[in-house]
Amino acid sequence: MRKYRAKLHYIATIGVLVALIEACKLAMAQIPNVELTSFWLIIFTVFFGRRAMIAVPIFTLLEGAIYGFGLWWVMYFYAWPALVLIAYFMRKSDSALPFALLSGIFGLSFGFLCAIPYVFVGSPTPGLSYAFGYWVAGIPFDLIHGVANFVLMLVLYRPVTSVMKKVARPL
Amino acid sequence: MAKNKKLILGCVAAVLVLAALVGVWFAFAKGVSPGNKSVIIEVVNKAGETATYNVRTDAEYLRDVMEEADGLTFVEENGMVMSVNGERADYVADKAYWAFYIGDAYCNYGINEQPVADGDVFRIVYTAA
């Protein structure tokens, strides 16, 4: 019985985590490249460890279902898992600054990561030049993304982790 | 001490990425403009030389994207594109025309009606009749 309760708790918690990410994403959709997805994925990984990583593929599937399975979707298969993996190795840290730096660098690199699938399209034009143009054109948005990620993590890390320590049970 | 070293390393990495982005932007951003769709226009002239234009745009139709492409010029007469980058292809006078492709297929519409989607690659090719 206890085993089933634990499983139920795990499934329900992952559902809540993904819902939280998606709700924040929709609420902030009007502000270009300011998002809390990076913040939440880092926090969940730090707080719940590797068992929270299952939230990433579920979130990815949900994004595809909502916005359509386009070429942009491919980057979700490596960008978010990479962020979560790095956060996992940094999870022992108890300061906001390292995670703010991680989140900021991730935001700055987001356009570059998004451009990778475009290397493989654009025939007959060499895909590399297409992907490069795609990346360069989005750099102003990457700068906003990086700065916003850095500031959001710096501001929200302490209050959110202290609340989570009170209300969330480990998975 | 090791913790501080890692933190300094992280700060340096962030500054380096930031500087690289700003540098790339100033070096290569000429000719691209922010927008939600990424479109490529290739112009192949009479000599077979190709000029490529990467455009970030919110435009819905090809004509607007062509107007936004930095360095690309064209003249339209009665719905037909007669001249691209100063090179005229008049079907009657030159026995040639500008053929429009989306990917490898002919465009089904004129430039005023040709819809544009993210990732589209258009080719404008000088073609002898």
Model-wide pTM > 0.80: no
Q: Give the integer Cα–Cα distance in Å for B99 and B83.
A: 11
DSSP output for A116-167: GGGGG--TTS-HHHHHHHHHHHTHHHHHHHHHHHHHHHHHHHHHHHHHHHHH
- pLDDT score, position A67: 83
Task: For B50-101, write each residue's pLDDT tens digit.
Answer: 888 888 888 888 999 999 898 899 998 877 899 999 999 988 888 899 999 9
The answer to whether A161 and A91 are in contact (CB under 8 A) is no
Region for B72 from its dihedrals, namely left if φ exceeds 0, alpha if ψ lies in -120 to 50, beta otherwise: beta
- pLDDT score, position B30: 63
Q: In the block, which residue shows the tokens 């004129």?
A: B110
Q: Do A137 and B33 touch (CB under 8 A)?
A: yes
Question: What is the complex's ipTM, to 2 decimals?
Answer: 0.78
Is A133 touching B (CB cutoff 8 A)?
Answer: yes
**Same domain, yes or no: B90 and B59:** yes
Task: For B17-54, write each residue's pLDDT tens digit.
Answer: 999 999 988 888 765 555 678 888 999 999 989 888 88
**Same domain, yes or no: B2 and B56:** no
**For chain B, what is the domain count?**
2
- Residue B16 domain boundaries: 1-30
Report, as an integer, the average pLDDT of A11-15.
91
Q: Do A122 and B121 touch (CB under 8 A)?
A: yes
Q: Do A105 and B17 touch (CB under 8 A)?
A: yes
CA of A60, closest CA in chain B: separation in Å? Answer: 20
Alpha helices for B29-111 (secondary structure H)? 62-68
Residues 35-64 of B with CB under 8 A from A: 35, 38, 40, 42, 52, 54, 56
Domain limits, chain A: 2-167
The answer to whether B25 and B106 are in contact (CB under 8 A) is no
**Same domain, yes or no: B58 and B74:** yes
Q: Which residues of B touch A118 (CB under 8 A)?
A: 38, 119
Confidence grade of residue A36 (pLDDT, cut at 50, 70, 90)? very high
Is it true that domain A2-167 has CATH number 3.40.50? no
Is B8 touching A (CB cutoff 8 A)?
Answer: no
Q: Do B54 and A133 touch (CB under 8 A)?
A: yes
**Same domain, yes or no: B24 and B47:** no
